[in-house]
Chains A and B, each alone.
Chain A
C-alpha cells in the first residue's frame, strides 16, 4: 500500500515553493518564447530582404526639362539609358516605369498636382541584375551619368543594410532577453532551494547522520525542481501559443509584400517546444548545484 505513495526523504512537495515556482517559471518561459519567436521572425525578414533586393538596381533620372519634352513630345534621354543598361554585362531585365505608374505611386502624398502633369517627375528604371555576376556598379554609374547628368544609380545597399542592422539588433535583443530570463530563473531557483535547505535542515542532518552523501540530498532537491520546472515550462509555453498566433495574425493583416510568410518552420517550432525541457534542465541543475555548494560549505 505504501508503495503507492512517492517515497521522498525530504518532504519538498509540501513546501509553498511548490506552488509558486511553476508559476514563476511559466512567466519566464512565456517571455522567452515570445522573444525567441520575435528573433526568428526578424531573422526571416532579414534573409528575405537580403535575397529579395540583392538582384535589384534602381536608376533614377532627373525630371525631364519641360522644353525638351514639349519639343519632341518625348524625352530622348530615357531610351538612351535603357539601351545602355540593356547592353551592360550582368543585366537581366530593364523596366522603365511609365509616368502614370510613378504618378500612381506618388498620388497619395502629392494629390492631384501630379495628375495635372505640371509637376516635373523623376523617371525610374527598375533593373534586374544577375546576383551571381553583378555589373560593375561604379562603371555603370559613370556611363549613366555621361548620358544623363544628375541621375542616381541605387543598389539599395544603404537602405538594406539599415534594415539588416535592425533585424540583427532585434535578434540580439531577443537572445539577451532569453539569457536574462535564464539568469532570473536560476537566481530564483537558487533562492528557493536555499529556503528549502533551511526549512528541512533537521531532516537533512538526519540523512547525513545515517550515511547519506551530499549527492543523495541533492537528488531530492533536483528531482523536485525538475518536475516543477517542467510543469512551469509547459504552462508558459501553452500560454505563449495563443499570443504567438495573435501576433502572426496581426502581422499578416498588414502584409505589404515586405513581410514574408510568418508561420514558423518545423525546426523553429521544435526550438519553442524545447523551452519547457530547457526550463526543467535549468531548474534542476541550479537546484543540484545550489545544494552541493551549500552542503560542501557546512562543517
Chain B
C-alpha cells in the first residue's frame, strides 16, 4: 500500500529532515507513527498524500511509483486517500456539513444518499448540533472532528491522520480511534502520527518511531517515549 525506499527529504537547500527512510505498510494494516516534535512525522505523511515529493529515493502508493504520475492520475489517487491534516485545513466559508461533503462533491458522488451519510457521520463525532456552523465559530476540538469526518466520508483505502486527537479530551480521542479501528476492519490502511503515547499503548498496532530523521525502531510493542531535541 505504502512503500518508501531510501527516501531522503530536504526542504529547499536545507538539512536532510528525513534520511534514508525505507518502510512498507501493507494493505489493511494499521500503524502508529511516533516521534518528538519536529522529528518529521508530518513531512513523512506529506509524501504519502502526494503533497511533497522526496528529494531522493522512491515512494510507491497502491503499487505505483508516484514519480511518473500525471496531474490527473495524482488527483484520482488522492481520492483514495483520506487525510486529517495537523492544522485541519477546513474551508472557513463552508459549513461543517459542506466541508465534510466536499470530497464527495469533488469525486462526483454527492447526492441525497451522501447528504444523509454526512449527517450521520457528523452526529457520530458529536457535532449533531453544529452541522451548519462555520469552522471559525467552532472550538479546536470541534474543528478537528470536522476534519476527521471529512477524511473518512469517502471511505478511503488509505487513511493518513496527523495528530488527529491533539485537541480532544481522552474520551473523544478514544472514540475516534475506534472509528479508525472500524475503518481498518473494513480494509482501510490506517497511519496515525501522534505524540500521544498513552493512546498508542491502548491499541496493539505496529509503531514506527522517527528520530533524528531516521526510523529508530519498529515492532509490535510501543517502546517508552524517548526525549530528543527536535
Contact = CB atoms under 8 A, between A and B. Distances in A.
Interface of A: 1-2, 7-9, 11, 14, 202-203, 206-214, 216, 295-296, 299
B91 A206 contact: yes
Contacts of B131: 2
B106 A211 contact: yes
Given A209-B83, A212-B75, A9 B91 contact: yes
25 contacts: A2-B97, A7-B94, A7-B98, A7-B105, A9-B94, A11-B91, A202-B89, A203-B91, A207-B106, A208-B75, A208-B78, A209-B50, A209-B51, A209-B83, A210-B78, A210-B83, A211-B76, A211-B81, A211-B103, A211-B106, A211-B107, A213-B72, A213-B75, A214-B71, A216-B106
A14 B91 CA distance: 14
Contacts of B79: 210-211
Contacts of B50: 209
B78 A211 contact: yes
A258 B79 CA distance: 70
Interface of B: 49-51, 53, 71-72, 75-76, 78-79, 81, 83, 89, 91, 93-95, 97-98, 102-103, 105-107, 131-132, 150
Contact of A9 (B81, B102, B150): B102
A61 B72 CA distance: 83
A4 to B, nearest CB: 11
Nearest to B78: A211
A221 to B, nearest CB: 15
A2 B132 contact: yes
A2 B51 contact: no
Nearest to A214: B71
B105 A211 contact: no
Contacts of A213: 71-72, 75-76
> Which 10 pairs from chain A and chain B are nearest by CB?
A211-B79, A11-B93, A211-B78, A213-B75, A212-B106, A210-B103, A206-B89, A2-B132, A2-B95, A211-B106
Contacts of A299: 53
A206 B147 CA distance: 12
A135 to B, nearest CB: 73
Contacts of A8: 93
Nearest to A299: B53
A213 B150 CA distance: 18
Nearest to B91: A203
A213 B73 CA distance: 9
A210 B102 contact: yes
B71 A296 contact: yes
Contact of A14 (B72, B83, B93, B105): B93
